[in-house]
Each structure stands twice: as structure tokens, then as C-alpha cells.
Amino acid sequence: MELTDDDLPGFARELGLPGFADIHVHFMPEPVLRKVWAYFDAIPADGPMAWPVRYRYDEAERVRRLAQLGVIVHTALSYPHKPGMATWLNDWSVDFAARTPGSVACGTFFPESDVDTYVRAALAAGAVVFKAHLQVGGYDPRDPRLDPVWGLLAETGTPVVCHCGSGPLPGAFTGADPIGEVLARHRKLTLVVAHLGLPEYGDFLDLARRYPRVHLDTTMAFTDFVEANTPFPRALLPQLRDLGDRVVLGSDFPNIPYPYAHQISALANLGLGADWLRAVLYDNGMRLMGPPVKA
């Protein structure tokens, strides 16, 4: 089965769902988004990793397209690559959510002296999901300046979507071990491993079995684009099925090189059952993107 974008609202209805809940969507200030798109544009168009951004529209059109796809709740993830960015990004995200139906307010952070202060401020302003990008940020999640932040997010039950796997390129602190040490210190942390942790799928499934609040998002997993280079081992599918209450839809919209529907088709074609699919496409995301406990 290969759905088209136009098919998606009807597909949701067939499953008995009001729509989709996507925990890995990017909206960010335009100057930052332009730099992200420039990164993908620099990848050779005739190479195996060619990455033409599929949904390269202005902000209003991207919001409209998501609604047209049947995505009724989503994040607006952004992330800093240096100190001094996170407060501005958090303020922008809270404002974006306030003016955008379906978007939840998001936050982010970087290891710096005032990180605990501005994370508390973002939570007080309504942020319900945070983003950490260990590859782009190039920082160690075990940095002592982040310890109070991990603790606060753990205690408030606030999910952190974390790019901690080593795909598409490894970073100094990617892989399961560094973030695993954070989890060992903060066992209540609701960590959402982006991209199923590719390419270290098995290692991150192990973390999810060890820590009951670890989730995995599906961003780009099982698509033809990813399967060509870092395929998910089919022997691990039973583990993914058994963790069905902790696998959640992610897409990377708008920064994907294929139609949004291809992600949904890839998940449906796994054959893990309608109940699993309903949980992944809607139930788990709705639970995670609900309001956290007050700090």
C-alpha cells in the first residue's frame, strides 16, 4: 500500500482516528529555517543522500498543509547550535503555538550558565515538549550544567525529543551510551528517541526496555530513503510491536525529501496490527503532548 497525501484524512477515519498526532515537526524562526534548508541544499543532488525539501513553503502554507494532511496536533521543534540561542527560540515557539491551532508550545536548551533559569521560564510559559539535538548542538548530555534541567523535566513529566542516534552522521556524543548515563541518573525522564535511534536501533530498543518512560519516534524510519542506507533490522520488529505504547509518530515535516504520506504508508506496511498503528499515529502522541505537571 502506498498512500498519497490526499488519502491521509480518509485513512485516519478508516482507523477510527480523528487525525494524526506528530511529535516531530519543525517550525522555527525564518532565518534559522533558511539555514537548515541551506544545509540540505548543499547535499549533492545527484548523490545517494540527495535531500530536496518537499514542503518548502512559507509558514502559513506549511500550517495549512499539515492540517490538510490530517495532522491535528503537532510540535514546533527548534534547537540551538551555540550558546545564547535557546531563550529566543523558546519565546518564538511559545508565541507560534499561541497563534497556531494544533501546535503545542515547545522548548529547547543548551549547556550554558542560565539554562536552568530559561527552561523553568519556558515551562511556566506553557512549553509541553522540549527538543535536544546532540548531533547539531555537539554537546555532551552529561554536562553538569544540564543535570538540573534533566531533573526538572523528569519531575514535571515533560517529554524531550532527543536526536541522540548517530544518523545521518555520528557526533561526539551520539549513540546510546551518553544519553543512557543521563537516564541512569534520571530514571523518570520521558525521553523520546528521535528516528528510532537510527542506526543504533537495537541499542535504543534496549534503553526503552530498561526505562519505562523512554519512547521512540518514527521519524523517517522505514521510508525508502532511510531503508536504502540504514535499514531497520526485521528481527527487531517483535520488540517494536511489544513497545507499541511507547512508539510515537514523528515525521520531520517540512524537511523531508518525500511525501508525508510515505511515512504513514511505511508504518502501515509493517503489518503490526491496527491497534498498534492507532497507538502510534494518534494515541501515544496525544498522551505525550498533553500538559505536563506544574513545576
Residue range of the domain that includes 82 = 5-288
Mean pLDDT of all residues in 175-181: 98
- pLDDT, one tens digit per residue, over 50-88 is 999 999 999 999 999 999 999 999 999 999 999 999 999
Beta strands 106-108 and 129-133 are parallel
Tell me the three state secondary structure of residue 1.
coil
Cα dihedral 295/247/163/2 (nearest 10): -140
Please state, in angstroms and rounded to a whole number, the distance separating the CA atoms of residues 121 and 138. Answer: 24
Query: Does some domain include residue 294?
Result: no
Query: Does some domain include residue 16?
Result: yes
Q: Based on the structure, what is the number of domains in the chain?
A: 1
pLDDT tier at 160, thresholds 50, 70, 90? very high
pTM attached to this predicted model = 0.97
Please state, in angstroms and rounded to a whole number, the distance separating the CA atoms of residues 133 and 211. Answer: 20
Q: Which CATH number fits the domain that encloses residue 219?
A: 3.20.20.140
Mean pLDDT of all residues in 189-211: 98
Beta bridge partners of 187: none
pLDDT tier at 120, thresholds 50, 70, 90? very high
| Residue 74, all three cell numbers | 503537532
Query: Does some domain include residue 293?
Result: no
Query: Does some domain include residue 207?
Result: yes
Contact call for residues 220 and 195 (beta carbons, < 8 A) = yes
